[in-house]
Structure 1
């Protein structure tokens, strides 16, 4: 694992050295071999503070990340190198920065306070390429006015010494710690950065108004307008997406409420249905019980009817009411006919022979006289005064006998017979 890590670091630092020497082919080879396209220098500062503090002890050492490969290619104005790095994966929107060490006297206080004297920072590779929107500050984050002015007006930059891992030991002169390079903003480099997705901020665009090459400003302005339009479209799409999600959430919430309400109504209906079902089941049980009782009563009534035998009459009686048969076992009766009554049942029906027609069958007992023919004895009064009375009206001498009363229908049934009133 250690050898792999060392090999990876070696490829990264070789890429830095290829950029500084302008070796585009070597840089492409490093990238092809796996070097990081965003690699930065690693600067090591070593100082013997005991020399100034008059104390003994080992030297103090610190490291800091320096310029990136893309920053170096831009500062050196290497168009082909910038193209190779961008094609290899360098990110044009990563912030660019590096530190420059301080100078003697290297007391412990100075070491702790300002061993890295200057901090260069740019928001992106594009900002560095046009020399705008950069900051140069000291260890206390205060501007280093002269260095920042040089960068803004004359495009003069201070960078670390050459090499992927430069070492700075007890620096006392600028030559011990840095190099000075002059930047020339190039539209070719700016175009490459734009093509690979560099963002154009308002600060960068405004800063390019003072450049000698107006084409750079025009290019960035057109890109900025397009970028703003794309941002607007993305914002609208994002707004539409959020609105859609909100609508979907509201619909889902509404559906959940509706489903919950319907579920509650369904549960209420189920409870009512269960209650009604239980009520009807109870009523059905009562009805079954009542039917069972009625069956028992009917059985008892039938049993009683079956126990009561018909009464033998064996008399000839006179028909006083006509009757038309309704069943096949019944006989027809006409007023004045004679009927031999054999049996009388408790339900008011009799069985016998119509002597006149010779037909045997059942008939209502109310249709025949209550006594046998010839059994009724009438006493005749001796005529006295009526013999001397003149006859005024024949009806007075032979009055019509009163009609026999109709016997009410019986409510007791015989086997196979219905009520007389219902027949």
Structure 2
């Protein structure tokens, strides 16, 4: 064989190898994003509100199951009450009013879950209160905090344990997330709280397991502090079913699966055509204006692509992620500064049994995509519900429903 023939064969082999590798990559991407579900617009769901309820500020919005029946639940700060609406009929089923002073005082109920109708766990600033359907306090817990004259002792190294959307009581224990004023890559993000003993019995999920290059993130935050500017914190999301604890964050395409406290695997759960923001860009989501006597925060009108939320259907079958495509400034007559105008949004639904992904282009201009997203949407076993944007009727709250079928 002469040299030219040998060269031709070698080039052919290289081309075949590259073609084979490219086919394998395309096959892998195709398998990981197989459209296995049908997602469709299911119309509007409306809940009638009583007088005094702030229709713009529903907190801890979620679907709660009591005695195998589903209820839409939320907390209203103005009336200091928890509301339960029948999911099927949209009628008000129960209002749990709480006191702000005295032996039955519950200062805040912005995070709660319902174990039974007479066992409602409220995660407030002063610890966890167990109340009944009359709003009476049955018992109080400090979440394991050290107290001084009844007040938690807080230092720069203090850990704050709080409920997340899937927190629940199981075998006397509650799964909670951890916040810290100062955090290192080795710190933990998740905790198991023993309610009766009022103590944290386990911590796991290190920050570096769900957020890459955390030291670089700390550097951006330190530089912002030196400039007396804010650096918006990366939102962490958690959900759990009988198989895994799922986690991700607002600037990661990956979904992290934990089993028995250990990272089991990471899988892709993003949109291939959209590049997620780096932390330097994401950290500017919120702008702080400082004055001699204080400061004011508002949304940056120019935002990069990032994830707004992660929710798990009550049956544990589907994970919902919302990818915000970013915003551009929009100038409105009469406004002193531009507002963020959404460039688009994608709903990502993952089947937890097959790990396949399905996508739906959301009407970003018609549904709420605010900076604080947890009060604007909830999921059922049927699909996902978003607050209708710019709703004017204060006597009701409207949700846009997107139905998911197999």
Common fold by TM > 0.5: no
Rg larger in structure:
1
Q: TM-score, normalised by structure 2?
A: 0.22
Which structure carries more strand by proportion? 2
Relative contact order higher in (CA < 8 Å, ≥ 6 apart): 2
